[in-house]
Amino acid sequence: MEPDRARARNKKLVRVGLTGGIASGKSLVAAELAARGATIIDADVLAREVVEPGTPALAAIIERFGADVVQDGQLDRARLAQIVFADPLARSDLERIVHPAVRARAAELERAAGDAAVVVHVIPLLVETGQQEKFDLVVTVDADHEIQVQRLMARNGFTRAEAEARIAAQASREERTLVADVVLDNTGSVTQLREQIDALWAELSSTVARQ
């Protein structure tokens, strides 16, 4: 497997899968880990990259969902979201198109990481796609359900019903916690979260040193 070849070139590489529910605080945790020296590979960023105009993934999306999901050559994400969040089968079809392209691009970026000691893959749907066994450590960012709802309403302008639907479309907090080696509790202050990240970074640094 390609990540295994990357590991062979760098015996001290520690691969981390970072996940969490929507609006749980994954981006903040990723930014904090990057500031401490980790290389970040964000699946959400790659999901946008692989559907840029001219990409095979965008062509496949148009073939499956029709030209209405494209506006001025760009994917109309809002329109596509309306379709897939109302239809589980449509969502599965979209995932079958996008996920393999994202994984391939993530593998390329990991190979390009060079001498990075810690590579963190930010994967919102890590549990849903069964990728937990691919990493040395799985970290879940956890937040109270109501906190997620309020963040989505404030950040995205969602109604409560829309926020609840987005949360319900993902794995449950319990499912993510079950596969996690480390759970970061993001129900408190940023200072409290950073203290947990400091402890996580110390653990990762220790793992690298032992290899």
In a domain? residue 144: yes
In a domain? residue 54: yes
For the record, the structure tokens of 72 come out as 């001025």
Query: Are 134 and 43 within 8 A, CB to CB?
Result: no
Query: Are 183 and 177 within 8 A, CB to CB?
Result: yes
CATH of the domain at 122: 3.40.50.300
In a domain? residue 211: no
How does pLDDT run across 111-129, given as a tens digit for each residue?
888 777 999 999 999 999 9
Q: What is the pTM of this model?
A: 0.87
How does pLDDT run across 137-177, given as a tens digit for each residue?
999 999 999 999 999 999 999 999 999 999 998 999 999 99
Range of the domain at 52: 2-206
In this prediction, residue 11 carries a pLDDT of 52
| Domain count within the chain | 1
In a domain? residue 82: yes
How does pLDDT run across 56-110, given as a tens digit for each residue?
999 999 999 999 999 999 999 999 999 998 899 999 999 999 999 999 999 999 9
CA-CA distance, 100 to 46, in Å (whole number)? 11
CA-CA distance, 51 to 98, in Å (whole number)? 8
Place of tokens 């970061």: 184
In a domain? residue 105: yes
